[in-house]
Chain A
Amino acid sequence: MHGILTIFRKEMGDHFNSLRFILISALIVMVGVIITSMVGMAIKEEVKGMAKPTLLFLLLFTSTGKLFSFVQFIGFFGPLLGIFLGFDAINRERVSRTLSKLVSQPIFRDSIINAKFLSGVTVIGIILVATVLLISGLGIRLIGVVPGVEEVSRLVIYVIISLLYISFWLGISILFSVIFRSTATSALASLALWIFFSFFVGLGASVIADAVAPVSQTASGVDAEMLIKHEKIQRIISSFSPMVLYSDATTTILDPMRKTTRGLILMGPLERLSMSRFQNPLPLLESIFIVIPHLISIVAITFLCFGICYFVFMRQEIRTV
């Protein structure tokens, strides 16, 4: 425990003093502020003179506006954040030849990985909470709506899910930093995995679904049964991607108008806004029930990759050369 604490403190100091951290947080804050201002303005126009729809506040995070929503941004950039914070965690010490010194101190070897992981998670948590608070503050000023208990709880859950998800990517990049001796290689490997999950799993899913259950345009329209089968297969395959798990979970939490994690019908932000005047959102508790399996999956894969990380690192011989 003592070892973890000491290394944790040093790592936190390293993070906060690093240019990397400053650049990343500046980027996130900047994007957050820009998106919120645009979205906030649009919402203000939209709801002028009308009854406020339920859960209006959450639209600050989920409306795409002209660019993309904040939630989409984090969904995209979050993995990169995790990767940036972890890709050189272990091999940096190897390159600077401090690792052999570290492991010859009276600490348990796993406390090195644990402390590095925990400090990364803490930094991610700080960035997430700070940005969500910043956006909320800005949003309150812009649209003049104070979030209610439910909105706040949903945001808290959103932050927790995102923290877990980004930590998964942190774990992946730390794993690569254990496996690969060069920091460039581990960064590239993490990025490759990220690209694979972001683009190829979705692509692969639709290719396989097309092959297994081809949806053809017949004279009598689309074969409904086939379409459903197609959709099911695609969904099962893409749920192997942590990205899909994450985006499903966050949409359910922040966009409770959707009753399932994935609808066949896509709606634009303004349609959703008008729909929200007539529909009741999914209650918080039910939203939570829906996302719990997703959460468990994300935690499970994080633990899995951490387990591999342990296994490799504990058995690794650490020489200086």
Chain B
Amino acid sequence: MKDQIVVETEELTKKYGSKIAVNRLNLKIKEGEVFGFLGPNGAGKTTSLLMFLGLTEPTSGKVEVLGFNPARDPFRVKEKVGYLPENVGFYDDMDARQNLQYIARLNRIPDEVSEKRIDYWLEIVGLSKESTQKVGTYSKGMRQRLGIAEVLIKEPKLIFLDEPTIGLDPDGTNRMLDLIQSLSREKNITIFLSSHLLDQVQRICDRVGIMINGNLVAIGPIDELAKQKLGVDQEAYTLEEIYMKYFKEA
């Protein structure tokens, strides 16, 4: 099962009018890996994710997620893929449990099954105590953690996280990153995470892709990129140095 491709794109392009948001993206994501999708604001990260989920139609090119074409078969893709949008929202007048249960029901998970899963994931993300509190009263960090729990309720094989640590404090960020890493290690969930917080990506990602102005300018394991770009085998490189190098060239 290892090395199976879960996301594959071929010359994937999205134009908004004359503006090219994503330009001829070629990408392969292997099962079980943690992939970091980097890029400055407006690089086209969210747009790519939307195309992977069939939430927006590509202008041209091909994309396959878990063997399905999301534009034609969005149903199949959404069954198996979890998506945490940037700045996820909830039904503020319901509590955490009710929010999760609604999503579980939309995924055709019977209530007996979802009860247990909800307990389990609320425990993991550390919201058990607050689970009967209205989500409207939650802090930013709690909402983000609830978002992760919600994505995991359907036990996806692959999750797309759009800026999962945005707005979290340092401790919250670390716990979020640990959680994401453990999902990959313990549950073999493939993780595709978009971010522009480089040190975090460096900490947990097996491979990264750097996108600038709609173009994927680099892709590979971080140390390989360092070798290529910085020309040295040095220990003390940071992803930031590599990234800035690409950024200046672009």
Interface residues of A (CB under 8 A from B): 2-3, 6-7, 10, 17, 96-98, 100-108, 317-321
Contact = CB atoms under 8 A, between A and B. Distances in A.
Contact of B46 (A101, A103, A106, A319): A319
B246 interface: no
A319 to B, nearest CB: 7
A6 B107 CA distance: 10
Nearest to A3: B106
Contact of B107 (A96, A106, A320, A321): A106
Contacts of A2: 108
Interface in B66-88: 75-76, 78-79, 81, 83, 85-88
26 contacts: A6-B102, A6-B105, A6-B106, A7-B106, A10-B102, A96-B92, A98-B89, A100-B89, A101-B85, A101-B103, A103-B55, A104-B55, A104-B81, A104-B83, A105-B78, A105-B103, A105-B107, A106-B75, A106-B79, A106-B106, A107-B106, A317-B55, A318-B55, A320-B86, A320-B88, A321-B87
B143 to A, nearest CB: 10
B45 to A, nearest CB: 12
Contact of B90 (A96, A108, A321): A96
Contacts of B238: none
Which range contains the number of B residues in contact with the other chain?
Answer: 20 to 34
A265 B65 CA distance: 70
A3 B46 CA distance: 26
Given A98-B90, A100-B85, 13 more contacts: A6-B105, A96-B91, A97-B88, A100-B55, A101-B150, A103-B55, A105-B78, A105-B103, A106-B107, A107-B106, A317-B50, A318-B55, A320-B89
Interface string B92-122: 1100000000110111100000000000000
B89 A97 contact: yes
A60 B88 CA distance: 52
Interface string B160-173: 00000000000000
Contact of B75 (A108, A318, A321): A108
Interface in B24-62: 46, 50, 53, 55-56
Nearest to A320: B85
B88 A101 contact: yes
Interface string B230-245: 0000000000000000
A6 B109 CA distance: 11
B44 to A, nearest CB: 13
Contacts of A319: 46, 50
A73 B108 CA distance: 43
Contacts of A103: 55
3 nearest A-B residue pairs (beta carbon): A97-B89, A106-B79, A105-B106
Interface string B138-161: 000000000000100000000000
Contacts of B53: 104
B87 A97 contact: yes
A108 B103 CA distance: 14
Contacts of A96: 89-92
Contacts of A6: 102, 105-106
B178 to A, nearest CB: 24
Nearest to A105: B106
A105 B103 CA distance: 8
Nearest to A5: B105
A101 B107 CA distance: 12
Nearest to B91: A98
A317 B56 contact: yes
A320 B78 CA distance: 17
**For B56, B87, B89, B90, which residue has the most chain A Cβ atoms within 10 angstroms?**
B89
Nearest to B99: A98
B85 A97 contact: yes
Interface string B187-206: 00000000000000000000
A318 B46 CA distance: 11
A107 B103 CA distance: 11
A106 B106 CA distance: 7
B18 to A, nearest CB: 17
A320 B53 CA distance: 14
B86 A321 contact: yes
A319 B78 CA distance: 16
Nearest to A2: B108
B147 to A, nearest CB: 8
**For A10, A106, A107, which residue has the most chain B Cβ atoms within 10 angstroms?**
A106
A149 B143 CA distance: 58
A173 to B, nearest CB: 21
Contacts of A100: 55, 85, 89
Contacts of B91: 96, 98
A75 B22 CA distance: 52
B50 to A, nearest CB: 7
A106 B104 CA distance: 10
Given A6-B106, A319-B50, A104 B85 contact: yes
Contacts of A7: 106
Contacts of B92: 96
A319 B103 CA distance: 19
A320 B55 CA distance: 11
